[in-house]
Amino acid sequence: MELIKFIIKKRELFRIEIIKNTIRFLKQDKLRMIGISIFLFFLVIAIFAAYIAPYNPMEMNFDGDGNLKRLQPPSKDHLLGTTYMGRDVFSQMIIGSRIALLVGILSAFCVVFIGTNIGLISGYYGGKIDNIIMRIVDIIYGIPFLPFALILVAILGPGVKNIIIAIVLITWRNTARVIRSQVLTLKTRTFIEAAKVSGAGDLRIIYKYIAPNVMPLSMVYISLTMGSAIMTEVSLSFLGYGDPLLPSWGKILYSCYSSQAMFKAWWWMVPPGIAIILLVLSGFLMGRGLEEIANPKLRIR
């Protein structure tokens, strides 16, 4: 009994040490910490958006005389001014952060999950399976991303779910190809041969011995895919294919453009543009840090 308690305690100490070392490593790079801080900032805003937003984002606001507050500049009542329809831009920005993070995070995890599994299977089994999968990947690489997403969303209908489907169906190709190349080198290692000799099955070797070694690389693609997924959602929403019932940053820009107010109402256009840049940048900065974890040789440079 004492031995079991000792082993459990050792494991807990080991986990705590890993967490401390990871935090210490992350703190070594200021750009990496900036990326994490920006992402956490937007994440907190998205979680508590309903409490932060002072107005209903789709509500038209009127002044004391009953006049619509059309294109009013930033003020004490409306921190980022109002839209052509008198809606509060700040509230739309806050609520819109939910759509950006939902699409970015969910798309990234789905893309990496599919791409990693396909890369593991293709690289490990090789032969005909590998050839078939890689030819499919080559075909998908020949499909232009944005036109494909536009056509698919136009067929399925505008909405967040369909945008995520469009992103996932074509973006997994990058992760699959990179993971496959890693598996091709890992499966020739001595510890894999030892696992085969000991009687381990293919699935056990793939997911117990190979998968943990490619997970750091998969994590890199999660952060990178998040940024590209957010840009895709913004692009589709700007082109009018976003959810018509939900406010998003791309839809804010689309409304500003369609109202021909991009030059006379800077408060309607600039804030969502800055928010998009910062959130996408945070994904690439975090990916930079995770890349150093996946490839320790980069830390020496």
Q: Which domains does the chain have, with CATH numbers?
A: 11-64+80-299 (1.10.3720.10)
Q: Which pLDDT does position 3 carry in this prediction? A: 47
Q: Which pLDDT does position 290 carry in this prediction? A: 67
Q: Which pLDDT does position 4 carry in this prediction? A: 47
Selection from 229, 244, 238, 231 nearest residue 256 by Cα: 238
Q: Which pLDDT does position 256 carry in this prediction? A: 87
Q: Which pLDDT does position 114 carry in this prediction? A: 92
- Cα of first residue to Cα of last residue in the chain, in angstroms, is 48
Q: Which pLDDT does position 16 carry in this prediction? A: 60
Distance of alpha carbon 113 from the chain centroid: 13
- The Cα-based distances of 19 to 15, 25, 36, 218, 299 in angstroms read 6, 10, 16, 19, 19
DSSP state of 287: H
Residues 162 and 156: beta-carbon distance below 8 Å: yes
Residues 236 and 153: beta-carbon distance below 8 Å: yes
Low-confidence stretches of the chain (pLDDT beneath 70):
1-29, 289-301
Largest Cα–Cα separation, the chain = 84
